């Protein structure tokens, strides 16, 4: 999502939060259970996609909204406002852009070290994860949605769909798309324990090719 889209989405969640708070007037036990559960699921999904599930916003929201008491709804409302202020201020994207290149480099170096130590399988998963994150960043930079809405909940698109969309909108070529598909297939084999489906040499080539690919498409 682009900053404008994120701002719009968090505004929708705040509106949903206000509706949950309003249910207290009709429910002596606190906020409406179904409404609160829906808000909680939608917000956790949004935070995970925007910041990651290890971010303090995610853990704080998760622990602060487990009940249907009015206090949970109020905490949800307050956290969403904090997120909105950060997004509207542009801080999240400034930080992410500054550190993304360094993080990619660090992870690829770790993958190289794993390969040198003979651990081709975790190396393949790590390279594939870096690649998938880059696909998401490329989509965001080119105003291509990285999520799909299903039953009112936003779900992250799978890497194959991101790859297809990037080629469709000519962010990169069909030949690049085929290469990305092959790298993702190798990553998936590693992630699902199909270790005999590829060799260490293939992972080595994947590391080299993905490194060049990321450098060429950096923004």
Q: Indicate if 110 and 206 belong to the same structural domain.
A: yes
Q: In the chain, how many domains are there?
A: 2
Q: Indicate if 24 and 115 belong to the same structural domain.
A: no
Residue 155: give its domain's CATH number: 1.20.120.330
Q: Indicate if 108 and 82 belong to the same structural domain.
A: no
Q: Indicate if 71 and 105 belong to the same structural domain.
A: no
Q: Indicate if 158 and 200 belong to the same structural domain.
A: yes
Element (H, E) at 168: helix 159-168
End position of a domain, from candidates 89, 107, 138: 89
Check if the beta carbon of residue 20 is closer than 8 Å to that of residue 40.
no
Tell me, what's the pLDDT at 121?
Answer: 93
Check if the beta carbon of residue 181 is closer than 8 Å to that of residue 125.
no
Sign of CA dihedral 102, 105, 107, 109: negative
Q: Indicate if 116 and 203 belong to the same structural domain.
A: yes
**Cα pseudo-dihedral 136, 142, 144, 147, rounded to 10:** 30
Q: Indicate if 43 and 101 belong to the same structural domain.
A: no
Q: Indicate if 202 and 102 belong to the same structural domain.
A: yes
Check if the beta carbon of residue 35 is closer than 8 Å to that of residue 133.
no
Alpha carbon separation from 74 to 35, 64, 89, 194 (Å, rounded): 14, 10, 23, 47
Mean pLDDT by 10 residues, the chain (219 residues): 72 90 60 81 86 78 83 88 80 51 73 90 90 90 87 86 96 95 95 93 95 79
Q: Indicate if 74 and 105 belong to the same structural domain.
A: no
Residues 6+ apart with CB under 8 A from 13: 39, 42, 43, 46, 80
Nearest to 51 by CA among 21, 95, 15: 95
Structural domain that includes position 25: 3-89
Tell me, what's the pLDDT at 95?
Answer: 46
Tell me, what's the pLDDT at 88?
Answer: 79
What pTM value is reported for the model?
0.55
| Distance from C-alpha of 139 to C-alpha of 144, rounded to nearest angstrom | 5
Residues 6+ apart with CB under 8 A from 163: 135, 177, 180, 181, 184
What is the maximum alpha-carbon separation in the chain? 65
End position of a domain, from candidates 43, 62, 89: 89
Tell me, what's the pLDDT at 144?
Answer: 92
End position of a domain, from candidates 89, 116, 136: 89
Q: Indicate if 27 and 128 belong to the same structural domain.
A: no
Q: Indicate if 110 and 200 belong to the same structural domain.
A: yes
Tell me, what's the pLDDT at 101?
Answer: 56
Q: Indicate if 81 and 64 belong to the same structural domain.
A: yes
């Amino acid at each position: 999502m682009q900053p404008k889209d994120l701002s719009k989405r968090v505004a929708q969640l705040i509106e949903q939060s206000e509706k949950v708070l309003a249910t207290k007037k009709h429910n002596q036990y606190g906020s409406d259970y179904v409404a609160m559960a829906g808000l909680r699921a939608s917000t956790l999904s949004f935070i995970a996609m925007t910041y990651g599930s290890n971010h303090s916003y995610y853990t704080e929201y998760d622990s602060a909204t487990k009940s249907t008491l009015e206090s949970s709804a109020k905490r949800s409302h307050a956290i969403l406002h904090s997120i909105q202020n950060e997004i509207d201020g542009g801080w999240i994207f400034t930080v992410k852009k500054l550190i993304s290149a360094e993080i990619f480099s660090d992870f690829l170096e770790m993958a190289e070290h794993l390969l040198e130590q003979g651990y081709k399988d975790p190396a393949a998963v790590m390279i594939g994860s870096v690649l998938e994150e880059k696909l998401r960043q490329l989509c965001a930079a080119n105003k291509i949605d990285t999520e799909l809405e299903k039953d009112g909940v936003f779900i992250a698109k799978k890497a194959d769909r991101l790859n297809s969309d990037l080629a469709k909108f000519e962010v990169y070529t069909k030949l690049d798309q085929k290469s990305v598909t092959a790298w993702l297939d190798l990553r998936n084999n590693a992630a699902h324990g199909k270790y005999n489906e590829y060799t260490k040499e293939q992972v080595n080539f994947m590391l080299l090719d993905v490194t060049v690919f990321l450098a060429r498409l950096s923004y």
